[in-house]
Chains A and B, each alone.
Chain A
Amino acid sequence: AVQLVESGGGLVQPKESMKISCAASGFTFSNAAMYWVRQAPGKGLEWVARIRTKPNNYETSYADSVKGRFTISRDDSKTMVYLQMDNLKTEDTAMYYCTAAPMLNTGNWFTYWGQGTLVTVSS
């Protein structure tokens, strides 16, 4: 069965950094584009970042709200994806979901979702 398990969330102060992780299993990870989508408490969904596959040079894309502060990366050997978050702001407080678009996806929709990890930015 497909599993995406996020970890590393918690409480962090504004302007600090945090790195969250996602462990993937049950599908061919190296063939899947990986994404982070977040949801502020009681709010809707917001796409955050994408990383493509090795044949696509691990190309990355970011939402304007996080560009220059967040970095998505992946380790195909460990089937892991990461989100390094720097200079955090209170408005980054959200549940962060790891999502995947397996090889059969020919578009950027989110087929698989993790349970999320909560990041709270507060002093």
Chain B
Amino acid sequence: DIVMTQTPSSQAVSAGEKVTMSCKSSQSLLYNENKKNYLAWYQQKPGQSPKLLIYWASTRESGVPDRFIGSGSGTDFTLTISSVQAEDLAVYYCQQYYNFPLTFGSGTKLEIK
């Protein structure tokens, strides 16, 4: 199984600041035939279902604000929020879909100071 490791487990930032969070996979998620990274990011706000933010490591889902930026390749990935807003308070999960079983990271909890 591919193990997904997210760091940090939590972080607190002030509104307007830039924040980055890391997701590392135990094996490469880059599929050589199409040069795509099989990684998605989700946001789960308190008391809500998760919401898809990004797929193919860097493609923003329709309607997702452009302050959410996915980057990385291979085994190292980053989710950046360029200017955090109060409504970004949530837990962020990465998920690999390179193979089955589909696996998630343990999440990064974002708190707003």
**A interface secondary structure, majority:** loop
* Chain B residues, Cβ within 8 Å of A64: 101
Please tell me if the beta carbons of B49 and A115 are within 8 angstroms of each other in the complex.
yes
- Docked Cα-Cα span, A47 to B42, in Å, equals 14
Size category, A interface: 20 to 34
- Docked Cα-Cα span, A35 to B107, in Å, equals 20
Size category, B interface: 20 to 34
A-B contacts, CB under 8 A, total: 57
Closest chain-B Cβ to A63's Cβ sits at a distance in Å of 5
A45-73 Cβ-contact flags toward B at 8 Å (1 or 0)? 11100100000000001011000000000
Closest chain-B Cβ to A18's Cβ sits at a distance in Å of 20
Please tell me if the beta carbons of B50 and A113 are within 8 angstroms of each other in the complex.
yes
* Chain A residues, Cβ within 8 Å of B97: 107-109
Please tell me if the beta carbons of A110 and B101 are within 8 angstroms of each other in the complex.
no
B48-86 Cβ-contact flags toward A at 8 Å (1 or 0)? 011110011000010000000000000000000000000
- Docked Cα-Cα span, A46 to B104, in Å, equals 7
Please tell me if the beta carbons of A107 and B104 are within 8 angstroms of each other in the complex.
no
Closest chain-A Cβ to B90's Cβ sits at a distance in Å of 13
- Docked Cα-Cα span, A103 to B107, in Å, equals 28
Residue in A105, A109, A111, A114 whose beta carbon sits within 8 Å of that of B95 in the complex: A109
B: residues with CB less than 8 A from A are 36, 38, 40, 42, 44, 49-52, 55-56, 61, 93, 95, 97, 100-107
A: residues with CB less than 8 A from B are 35, 37, 44-47, 50, 61, 63-64, 97, 105, 107-111, 113-116
